[in-house]
Amino acid sequence: MNETLKSVGVGLLMGVGLAVVFAAGFVVRDLIGQPLFNRPADSQPYALLPEVAALVEQYHLRPAPDPKALEYAAVRGLLSSLNDPNSYFIEPPQTRAETVALAGVYGGVGIKLQRTAEGGYRMSPFDNSPAQLAGIQDGDLLLAIDGVPVSGAEAEVEMRLRGEVKDGAGVTLSFRQNDQQREVFVPFGLVEIPSVFARLLDEDPRMGYLQITDFSNRTPGQFREAIQRLRDQNVQAFVIDLRNNGGGLLQEALQIAGEFVDGQAILIQRTRDTEQVYSDEPGGLLTDLPLVVLVNHGTASASEVVVGAIRDYERGLIIGQKTYGKGTIQQIFGLSDNSSIHVTYAEWLTPQRRSLDGQGIEPDIVITPDPNAIDPELAQAIQSLSEALN
Q: Please state, in angstroms and rounded to a whole number, the distance separating the CA atoms of residues 117 and 200.
A: 29
Tell me if 93 is assigned to some domain.
no
- pLDDT at 118 (0 to 100): 83
179 and 208 inside one domain = no
Find, among 298, 321, 322, 324, the residue nearest to 369 by Cα. Answer: 321
Tell me if 270 is assigned to some domain.
yes
205 and 307 inside one domain = yes
- Is residue 326 part of the annotated active site? The answer reads yes
207 and 138 inside one domain = no
Residues of the chain under the 70 pLDDT cut? 1-43
Q: Please state, in angstroms and rounded to a whole number, the distance separating the CA atoms of residues 214 and 252.
A: 10
Please report, for the domain that includes residue 184, its CATH number.
2.30.42.10
Q: What would the pLDDT profile of 226-270 be if each residue is shown by its tens digit?
A: 999 999 999 999 999 999 999 999 999 999 999 999 999 999 999
Neighbours of 367 (CB within 10 A): 19
- pLDDT at 40 (0 to 100): 54
CB contact at 8 A, 279 and 263:
yes
Q: What would the pLDDT profile of 163-180 be if each residue is shown by its tens digit?
A: 888 999 999 999 999 999
Options 7, 80, 87, 326, the catalytic residue: 326
297 and 282 inside one domain = yes
Q: Where are the beta strands (DSSP E) in 242-339?
A: 265-270, 275-279, 291-295, 317-320, 328-334
Find, among 361, 382, 106, the residue nearest to 242 by Cα. Answer: 361
Q: Please state, in angstroms and rounded to a whole number, the distance separating the CA atoms of residues 244 and 242.
A: 6
CB contact at 8 A, 233 and 282:
no
Tell me if 335 is assigned to some domain.
yes
Task: List Cα–Cα distances, 4 to 103, 212, 250, 310, 330, in angstroms.
Answer: 11, 19, 7, 22, 9
Strand partners, 113: 123
Neighbours of 302 (CB within 10 A): 31
252 and 365 inside one domain = yes
- Is residue 7 part of the annotated active site? The answer reads no
Show which of 60, 87, 114 is a domain's final residue.
87
- pLDDT at 388 (0 to 100): 95
201 and 173 inside one domain = no
Find, among 390, 381, 363, the residue nearest to 239 by Cα. Answer: 381
156 and 244 inside one domain = no
DSSP string, 1-57: ----EE---------HHHHHHHHHTHHHHHHTTS-SS-S-TTSSTTTHHHHHHHHHH
Please report, for the domain that includes residue 264, its CATH number.
3.90.226.10
Print the SS3 string covering 111-160. Answer: EEEEECCCCCEEEEECCCCHHHHCCCCCCCEEEEECCEECCCCHHHHHHC
CB contact at 8 A, 189 and 111:
no
Cα angle at 277 between 271 and 279, to 5 degrees? Answer: 145
216 and 334 inside one domain = yes
163 and 202 inside one domain = no
| Bridging pattern class, strands 189-192 and 105-108 | antiparallel
239 and 297 inside one domain = yes
300 and 352 inside one domain = yes
CB contact at 8 A, 369 and 321:
yes
Q: Please state, in angstroms and rounded to a whole number, the distance separating the CA atoms of residues 309 and 262.
A: 11
Q: Please state, in angstroms and rounded to a whole number, the distance separating the CA atoms of residues 187 and 181.
A: 20
Please give the residue range of the domain that contains residue 143: 105-192
- pLDDT at 374 (0 to 100): 79
Show which of 176, 192, 208 is a domain's final residue.
192
Options 301, 303, 339, 384, the catalytic residue: 301
The amino acid that residue 253 corresponds to is A
List CB contacts of 329: < 8 A, sequence separation 6 or more.
5, 7, 250, 269, 344, 345, 346, 347, 348
- The SS3 of residue 71 is helix
CB contact at 8 A, 369 and 376:
yes
Show which of 37, 53, 87 is a domain's final residue.
87
Q: Is the pTM of this model over 0.75?
A: no
- pLDDT at 299 (0 to 100): 95
| Bridging pattern class, strands 291-295 and 317-320 | parallel
Strand partners, 145: 148, 173
Region of residue 383 (phi > 0: left; psi between -120 and 50: alpha; otherwise: beta): alpha
203 and 319 inside one domain = yes
Number of domains in the chain: 3
